[in-house]
């Protein structure tokens, strides 16, 4: 993550090769679900003209997505795809256009590595990602009734996906402190170091993007980022984790006066 560069191009090929040994699926998402969730169905698209990122609702779904969400719902809140809603689809499409305009690099990572956006019924969380379904971002319709910016939310989730990869290659937390709980202001509750690191990394990428996009929430995102990295203790982190924390602090100090 030298010079704040995203890690997908560096880490994804090895990750993909490793999963290919386990599965012959076409999509990385299918491979992950096959490996983690034991779902053997592949992903099928009726509309061959579609280009990534793909928006998944009940209109264009297949059994693969239904089975995957059912499995994930066993350890998270119940997740069900929404009926097709043209207004929601248009809002997401416009947000993707904003990302393509302000950060072509991020848009490329979405199309290459995280090409699926699932829209689910109202949920406590506005959005979520899980390594069990790497390559797919889940957005709740609750997001459309909030004041959150959809493009910022997508970047937030892409950052989680990036950290999944980094942690697979090089563990980020000292195993002696995996369960060490400390207060996280972003979620307003105590969280273990990996949760706090994920929040810090998401805010790191959100701050970068909000500068490029001149987002009106920049000052709040930057403030939350600064408060979040204060919760990370060097003794909780591995060498790689501490390198990332150094990157966060350097970046924050550089943008502090903006």
Rounded-to-10 torsion of CA 79, 87, 145, 199: 60
**Greatest CA separation for the chain:** 51
Tell me what the mean pLDDT of segment 194-205 comes to: 97
- Tens-digit pLDDT profile for residues 95-110: 999 999 999 999 999 9
In this model, does residue 76 exceed pLDDT 70?
no
Distance CA 207, CA 187 (A): 17
Q: Where are the alpha helices (DSSP H) in the chain?
A: 8-20, 28-32, 63-73, 86-102, 104-113, 150-169, 193-212, 218-229, 239-255
In this model, does residue 111 exceed pLDDT 80?
yes
User: Is 0.75 surpassed by the pTM of this model?
Assistant: yes
Tell me what the mean pLDDT of segment 111-136 comes to: 92
Estimate to the nearest angstrom the gap between the alpha carbon of 167 and the chain centroid.
14
What pLDDT, on a 0 to 100 scale, did the predictor assign at position 173?
97
- Tens-digit pLDDT profile for residues 6-44: 999 999 999 999 999 988 898 999 999 999 999 989 888
Rounded alpha-carbon distances, angstroms, from residue 192 to 47, 103, 162, 183: 42, 32, 19, 9
Residue of 11, 32, 8, 10 whose CA lies nearest to 20: 32
In this model, does residue 177 exceed pLDDT 90?
yes
Tell me what the mean pLDDT of segment 243-247 comes to: 96
């Amino acid at each position: 993550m030298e010079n704040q560069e995203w890690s997908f191009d560096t880490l994804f090929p090895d990750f993909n090769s490793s999963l290919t040994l386990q599965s012959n699926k076409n999509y990385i998402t299918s491979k992950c679900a096959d490996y983690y969730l034991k779902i053997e169905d592949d992903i099928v698209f009726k509309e061959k003209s579609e280009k990534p990122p793909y928006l998944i609702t009940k209109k264009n779904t297949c059994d693969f997505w239904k089975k995957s969400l059912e499995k994930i719902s066993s350890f998270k809140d119940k997740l069900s795809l929404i009926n097709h809603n043209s207004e929601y689809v248009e809002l997401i499409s416009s947000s993707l256009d904003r990302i393509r305009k302000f950060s072509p690099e991020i848009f490329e990572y979405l199309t290459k590595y995280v090409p699926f956006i699932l829209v689910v019924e109202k949920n406590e969380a506005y959005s979520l990602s899980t390594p069990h379904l790497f390559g797919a971002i889940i957005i709740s319709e609750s997001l459309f009734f909030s004041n959150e910016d959809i493009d910022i939310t997508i970047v937030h989730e892409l950052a989680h996906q990036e950290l999944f990869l980094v942690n697979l290659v090089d563990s980020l937390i000292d195993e002696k402190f995996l369960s060490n709980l400390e207060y996280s202001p972003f979620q307003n509750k105590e969280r273990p170091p990996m949760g706090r690191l994920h929040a810090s990394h998401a805010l790191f990428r959100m701050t970068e993007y909000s500068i490029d996009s001149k987002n009106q929430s920049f000052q709040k995102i930057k403030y939350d980022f600064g408060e979040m990295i204060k919760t990370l203790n060097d003794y909780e982190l591995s060498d790689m984790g501490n390198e990332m924390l150094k990157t966060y602090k350097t970046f924050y100090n550089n943008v502090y006066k903006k």
